[in-house]
Amino acid sequence: MDGASRESASGARKLSTAEERRGTVLRTAIQAFAARGYYGTTTTEVAKAAGISQAYLYRLFPDKESLFVAVIDHCAARMRESMADGVAKARSREPEVVLAAMNESYARLIADQDLLRVLLHANCAASEPPIREAIRDCYAKQVEYVRGASGASDARIREMFAQGMLSNVLVAIGAAEVDAPWTRTLLGDTSRA
């Protein structure tokens, strides 16, 4: 039996202690990086919040950069799961219907401010080559998934992602809480005009 997993009496795979701890560290790291960004977060803070020593953190992730890349990968997987959920709930397979369903699922996902802020911080830390590669890979996977699942044109996919990027910023700054002409314009809210 492999050291990374164990089989239970029912035959179901159980996570090893290291895998469980890695998951805990990722969840904790998301919160820490969301609050202070890549450059403002220390591995000491992440280890303390996860209830482990910094030495054990380094056994799970060789350095802060690797930890942040793993966080980006985790967020990318959550985005993909969210879009798949949207596709499953789409009323038809028409590209516009599928895109609309994906957008609705994504809007629910970015209500998780931690995930949203990590993605924004990742974009800002893209000057670091491994982080740049991880965020590129994140977007590449999302675009290719949307393309395959929706059958939409490149132009329509670009519009969807542009709207998603704008939504990220508007949610992050709490634009919906401000009743002003500029927020109504960016939010597309004509009901308060």
Is position 85 within any domain?
A: yes
Type of residue found at 56: Y
pLDDT of residue 64: 97
Half-sphere exposure at residue 36, Cβ-oriented, CA atoms within 13 angstroms: 10
Is position 171 within any domain?
A: yes
Nearest to 52 by CA among 20, 15, 75: 20
CA distance 110 to 78: 10
Is position 111 within any domain?
A: yes
Instruction: Point out the residues of the chain with pLDDT beneath 70.
Output: 1-16, 190-193
| DSSP state at residue 175 | G
CA distance 67 to 82: 23
Is position 4 within any domain?
A: no
Is position 37 within any domain?
A: yes
pLDDT of residue 4: 42
Is position 131 within any domain?
A: yes
- Counting the structural domains of the chain, the total is 1
Residue 6's beta-bridge partner residues?
A: 14
pLDDT of residue 190: 61
Q: How far is CA 57 from the centre of its chain?
A: 22
Is position 191 within any domain?
A: no
Is position 5 within any domain?
A: no
Which tokens sit at 163? 């709207």
Q: pLDDT by residue (tens digit) across 28-71? A: 999 999 999 999 999 999 999 999 999 999 999 999 999 999 99
pLDDT of residue 11: 55
Q: What is the CATH number of the domain that holds 96?
A: 1.10.357.10
Residue 104's beta-bridge partner residues?
A: none
Range of the domain at 47: 15-175
Type of residue found at 146: V
